[in-house]
Structure 1
Amino acid sequence: MGALEIVLLPCLADNYSVILHDPASGQTAVIDAPCGATIKAALAERGWRLTHLFITHHHADHTDGIAQLKAFYGASVTGPQAEADRIPWLTRLVKAGDKLEFAGHPIEVLDTPGHTLGHITYYFPEDKLAFTGDTLFSLGCGRVFEGDPEMMWESVSKIGALPGDTQIYCGHEYTLSNGRFALTIEPENDALKKRMADVEALRAAGQPTLPTTIDAELATNPFLRPHSRAIQARLGMLGAPDAEVFARLRQLKNKA
């Protein structure tokens, strides 16, 4: 099993899709489909033909391109069983604990609800990749639209428990705004300050800030750091349960 070729593809205003290509078999997968035309153009430029679509959740900015891509390529479309009624193009329904593969590369399905009730994450353990959609962002996490903060905390914690060198690809380029919020929450975090300098340089150059890693997020993402004494003290919540601190952080970020 050789290494996958990975293309991080900007779509719409701030979305990302990710293209995975296996050179040995020629199989090509796409994680989430914000815009069919953008994805088709990227595939055509490389001479790749789409064989698999993997969808994390039902929101339109992750699914609007499915119909066009499925009709053009005849690709299989995998997505959360719990949201099948809201993603009508699915050809394979998956749930937590299911084990799949793409071109011989194992995939584990993680249940990561909160942003939506059926949201899933695709984890490629041998490739050390995780596609987290709108659950865990670089330096942030998704808004809690359909679940509750405790559910979201459990989901981001599940992702945070993956091996530290796992590369994280999420659904949006939100790192700069997330990082600015993080600095108001934990301004004494030297790792965060250094990372934000790198993020600002990347964005000034028009470059993406992804992928990130689990280790980087554990060191700098406040939504994975509710145990931090500095964060708890700033919020006036010393000794509070992690889930309660997380909920307060999410509430503050919603107003930022």
Structure 2
Amino acid sequence: MSDSVHGRLPSLKGFITRPPSPALAAYVQRFWWVEGDGSQTFDEQMLHPDGGSGVIFNFAEPLNFDGTQCSLRTLIAGPQLASARLQLVGQVRMMGVRFHPGMGDAVFGIGLDELAGFHDASWPRLGFAHLIDQLAELKRDAQQAVVERELLRRLSASQARRTPVQQLLAQIAAEGGRARLTDLLQSVPLGQRQLERLFRHQVGMTPKQFSRIQRVALVRNQLRTGQPLLDTALACGYSDQAHFIHDFKRVVGMTPGQYRLRAKNS
């Protein structure tokens, strides 16, 4: 899968990750933890979309997303269509689990097209909030074990129902969003309208939107190499610079040139 907020790990002191158990590897990218005290200064983190989703358990002070304080202790991080900004202040103690694109709906029991952005995980249909007090008292190994048991209990969806979407998702990701969607849709043994409806339900966005964020992630990787912007645009499958800049700004919130300067300075 292409680079993302969780693919290229945040540059935070106290941030660690662990892989899931083999039984969950097809669904879970990783488990992660962040800890720090009020004396630390945390840089603002850019949370770039990757098509994935996750759950965040916050055991300390409220989080700040795009300048808005979030006091929820348990959050569902649904699929993003644009980059967000996270600012951590004061006492920080969090745990999270990140799902592969297209896998969150099997865990949440709700279509990801209803979960874009950040949501309260105490919704009756989601039901993760009951874990927060138990997890707060445990160490990392025990926390992961508790969450893994909960995830395995939830994974009862039929794989046959999920196969066509997973096939299309894998093809888009393998091409870094550069392949023609019309060609990919024709290669999947399901009607286009039905496939797009299932894709929105399982992934939380349309195939076109997922393709866009995959290609923009590819651009972000290329920009860090320092090659000229036009060469980057062509390498990532853009036929004109206007489309290249429009897509990038729509997802990341800044132009490719501004992003490259920010990456160089940081």
TM-score (norm 1): 0.26
TM-score (norm 2): 0.26
Quick check: which one's strand share is greater? 1
Greater length-normalized contact order (CA 8 Å, ≥ 6 residues apart) = 2
